[in-house]
Amino acid sequence: MENKIEIARSFSFKLSLPNYQNADFFCSQKKECLESEAGEASKALYEFCRNEVIRDVNEYKKQLKPTKVVRSKYAEVKKEQEETSAKIDAADGILGEQKLKE
């Protein structure tokens, strides 16, 4: 009679986010099987865990996409504000020089 063993496999993924934050994803599964089935069981458990984690990561990334649009729009607005401020500063400088000459 063949011995039964327990196989445990896991998969984890760390997603880097803006502002030095991370999102961690993890899946762990175990199965009792015959020693002769250990290789196949291990591979199946690994693939299951990997697929679960990757699916969750992709779903999470879909939720983040709107914030990327907001960030890029924020960057555009900020750039416009900086350009406007530079023009105002330049105009103030010219007016200041004119007042000094008067």
Domain boundaries, the chain: 4-101
User: What secondary structure letter does DSSP report for 3?
Assistant: P
Q: Is the dihedral of CA 72, 69, 63, 50 positive or negative?
A: negative
Q: How confident is the model at residue 67 (pLDDT cuts 50, 70, 90)?
A: low
Task: Quote the pLDDT of residue 14.
Answer: 94
Confidence check: pLDDT of 66 > 80:
no
User: What secondary structure letter does DSSP report for 19?
Assistant: T
Task: Quote the pLDDT of residue 1.
Answer: 84
The b/e string for 47-76 (b: 16+ C-beta within 10 A; e otherwise) is eebbebbeebeeeeeeeeeeeeeeeeeeee
Confidence check: pLDDT of 37 > 90:
yes
Average pLDDT over residues 22-42: 95
Supply the pTM of this predicted model: 0.60
Confidence check: pLDDT of 95 > 90:
no
Alpha-carbon distances, residue 23 vs 3, 40, 62, 96, 100 (angstroms):
40, 31, 14, 52, 58
Average pLDDT over residues 33-40: 94
Task: Quote the pLDDT of residue 28.
Answer: 97
